[in-house]
């Protein structure tokens, strides 16, 4: 099959190597000519996925029309906050084709998940949309290190097609029909991962990290249930699996942001030096906006907003979480 990937960052490039292993023809679109030249001439994406040699059935372009004319399936790996502007500005037309999302976030302002953004901007129908998510750092996927993810769609035929396209002996794809739960799990875990990084930056211990992950997962399940997601989804790859790896991995951009904050640095300085996007920062803002309209208790997420955007001391935030009124574990 011919597969067009919108976004040639680390994740888009890593997924291109997966698809290439199954003998698909891959076209990567990037707005940066230097990146497309590097891929086509040097068989590498040194900027976003260094150290990985790209096979010959991957080519790159900065011409959107070249992608449209050839693609049977579209894969979107642009960060969530840029999807609307990229799809609108460059005029990608992907109606009547399967669209797969590799982004993990909630759009600021509209509070839309990626499936909703794509329906709003490109009129992509739910039965043609699949989210591909789970614990899957690009740095490891690009090196063919065993990885498992989940493809979620309201359409069984669409999720099955994605399973077939992406599955390799080292990249295993499960299926799910809970697209809401899978999208929210992938987005919300990034907020908790920033908090995990703060714990690392403050040199706190394993007990603290375990408490954060466990109670963070409870918050993710709580908000998912309010949107009609299956709570069990959050115990799977798109929830607990992705949460665990993002809170602990050296590859995690969101954990890195939190770690630097824990060490006393300012958010704007951290983001200014990063080549790639830590989606959890924007998602924290979206969750804060969302909680203004829903009666859901998410104390960790709220404290993260105060740390990132109100300059609250991380130590003060942790203290306030610890001295909250006691209650049963499950409620």
CATH of the domain at 260: 1.10.1040.10
Cα–Cα distance between 116 and 154 in angstroms, integer? 13
Which domain-ending residue is among 150, 177, 204? 177
- Residues of the chain falling short of pLDDT 70: 331
Which domain-ending residue is among 142, 161, 177? 177
pLDDT at 331: 64
Query: Looking at the chain, which runs of residues are DSSP E strands?
Result: 2-6, 25-29, 58-61, 73-76, 98-101, 129-133, 147-152, 171-176
Sign of CA dihedral 155, 157, 160, 162: negative
Angle at which helix 179-201 crosses helix 114-122, to 10 degrees, equals 130
- Whole-prediction pTM: 0.96
Cα–Cα distance between 16 and 37 in angstroms, integer? 16
CATH of the domain at 22: 3.40.50.720
Residues labelled as active-site residues: 189
In terms of Cβ atoms closer than 10 Å to its own Cβ (0-12, 13-18, 19+), residue 121 is: middle
Count of structural domains, the chain: 2
List the domain range (segments joined by +) for residue 35: 2-177
Q: Do residues 141 and 18 lie in contact, with contact meaning Cβ atoms separated by under 8 Å?
A: yes
pLDDT at 146: 98
Query: What's the Cα-to-Cα distance from 183 to each of 95, 130, 298, rounded to whole Å?
Result: 21, 10, 18
Which domain-ending residue is among 125, 154, 177? 177
pLDDT at 68: 73
263, 162: one domain: no
């Amino acid at each position: 099959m011919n597969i067009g990937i919108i976004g040639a960052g680390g994740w888009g490039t890593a997924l291109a190597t997966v698809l290439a292993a199954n003998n698909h023809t891959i076209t990567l679109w990037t707005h940066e000519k230097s990146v497309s030249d590097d891929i086509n001439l040097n068989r590498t994406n040194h900027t976003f996925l260094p150290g990985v040699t790209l096979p010959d059935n991957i080519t790159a372009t900065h011409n959107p029309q070249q992608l449209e004319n050839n693609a049977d399936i579209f894969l979107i790996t642009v960060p969530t906050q840029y999807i609307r502007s990229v799809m609108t500005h460059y005029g990608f037309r992907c109606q009547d084709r399967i669209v797969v999302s590799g982004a993990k976030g909630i759009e600021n302002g509209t509070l839309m998940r990626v499936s909703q953004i794509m329906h709003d901007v490109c009129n992509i129908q739910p039965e043609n949309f699949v989210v591909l998510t789970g614990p899957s750092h690009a740095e490891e996927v690009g090196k063919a290190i065993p990885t498992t993810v989940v493809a979620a769609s309201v359409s069984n035929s669409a999720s099955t097609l994605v399973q077939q396209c992406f599955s390799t002996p080292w990249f295993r794809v499960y299926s799910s029909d809970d697209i809401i739960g899978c999208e929210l799990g992938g987005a919300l875990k990034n907020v908790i991962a920033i908090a995990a990084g703060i714990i690392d930056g403050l040199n706190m211990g394993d007990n603290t990290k375990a408490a954060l992950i466990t109670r963070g997962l409870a918050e993710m399940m709580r908000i998912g249930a309010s949107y009609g997601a299956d709570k069990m989804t959050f115990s799977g790859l798109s929830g607990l699996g992705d949460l665990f790896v993002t809170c602990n991995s050296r590859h995690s951009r969101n954990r890195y942001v939190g770690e630097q904050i824990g060490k006393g640095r300012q958010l704007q300085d951290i983001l200014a030096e990063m080549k790639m996007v830590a989606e959890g920062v924007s998602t924290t803002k979206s969750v804060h906006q969302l909680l203004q309209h829903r009666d859901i208790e998410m104390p960790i997420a709220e404290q993260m907003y105060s740390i990132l955007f109100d300059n609250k001391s991380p130590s003060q935030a942790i203290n306030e979480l610890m001295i909250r009124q006691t209650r049963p574990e499950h409620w």
